[in-house]
Amino acid sequence: MSDLYRVEALRLSLPDMTRKPLFGAAPRIEILKGMSFAIPRGQVLGIVGGSGSGKSTLGRALVRLLEPSSGRVTFDGTDLTHLSEPALRPLRHRFQMIFQDPMSSLNPRMSVARIIAAPLSLHGRANPRAEALDALERVGLPRSFGARYPHELSGGQRQRVGIARAIALRPDFILADEIVSGLDVSSQAQVLSILRDLVREMNLTLAFISHDLSVIRRLCDRVLVLHQGEIVEDAACETLFAAPQAAYTRELLEAIPEPDPKKPWFQRAS
């Protein structure tokens, strides 16, 4: 069986708190409107879309931080869709997540080594600290960084700590949710190249959520384009960039300002 994930007719709705009456339940708003796709083992899948397209919600449903309303999410043959938290726990080390903002996802009071070791000890590993320092090395940071605190690191270094925490458990799957959107271009290039190497070395399957198609092109094998809770295009990366099918994909592509003043982008009003 070569598909790590299978997603069938996935729907997810959440309470719309902006329209909640004073008493009683909030009306539900449908975020994911029926999505089906599979992620083969070893693939780097890009998930792209504008804000509100449901890309983060989809990611969170994959790692079961959110419970789908209907449909099915199968991970390596196990149906995760409505699995209870105790039943999920023994599986959790196999799918990990890297968050967008390392400042809010890394505990400021914990040293880097403790941050990375925390999930390791939670999952009962024998030597969490040693494994944590190994993970640091894998993301290209010196072991001595284990003693530092998040505020002592640059944005790019912090994001690498987030990656180290995710890979320390040696998962099969990693979900990276907008992990380079807060970074400078130079750190962004660095984080992307580290991620690409790790995917190869550790045989990872990766879902990479981004609003930026130019970043996706550097990393992904295949791309899902989401728009208003639906998949509007599902294509191999090269195909998508060479011949985008959906109108929304073309709109996204045309909106990216490429660093070249000679390529027309919009006509300056004169």
Q: What are the residues binding other proteins (CB under 8 A)?
A: 50-51, 155, 184-190, 192-193, 211-215, 217-218, 238, 241, 251-263, 265-266, 268-270
- Identify the residue whose tokens are 């992990």: 179
Q: Which two tokens stand for residue 107?
A: 């505990």
Nearer Cβ to other proteins (7/194): 194
Q: How far is the CB of 160 from other proteins (least distance, A)?
A: 12
Nearer to other proteins, 36 or 214 (CB): 214
Cα 219 to Cα 54: distance, rounded to the nearest angstrom: 21
As measured in angstroms, the least distance from the Cβ of 9 to other proteins is 27
**How far is residue 170's CA from residue 179's CA, in Å, rounded to a whole number?**
19
Measured from the CB atom, the residue of 85 and 260 that comes closer to other proteins is 260
| Minimum CB distance to other proteins, residue 266 (Å) | 5
Q: How far is the CB of 253 from other proteins (least distance, A)?
A: 7
Closest CA to 73 of 89, 95, 90: 95
In the complex, the smallest distance separating the C-beta of residue 48 from other proteins, rounded to whole angstroms, is: 10
Q: Which two tokens stand for residue 260?
A: 């070249």
In angstroms, what is the minimal distance from the CB of 4 to other proteins?
26
Nearer to other proteins, 81 or 249 (CB): 249
Give the nearest distance from C-beta 129 to other proteins in angstroms.
Answer: 29
Tell me whether residue 120 or residue 219 sits nearer to other proteins (CB atom): 219
| Beta strand pairing call for 3-15 and 95-98 | unpaired
Distance CA 107, CA 258 (A): 36
Q: Judged by CB, which is closer to other proteins: 55, or 165? A: 55
Residue 130 or 253: the one with the smaller Cβ distance to other proteins is 253
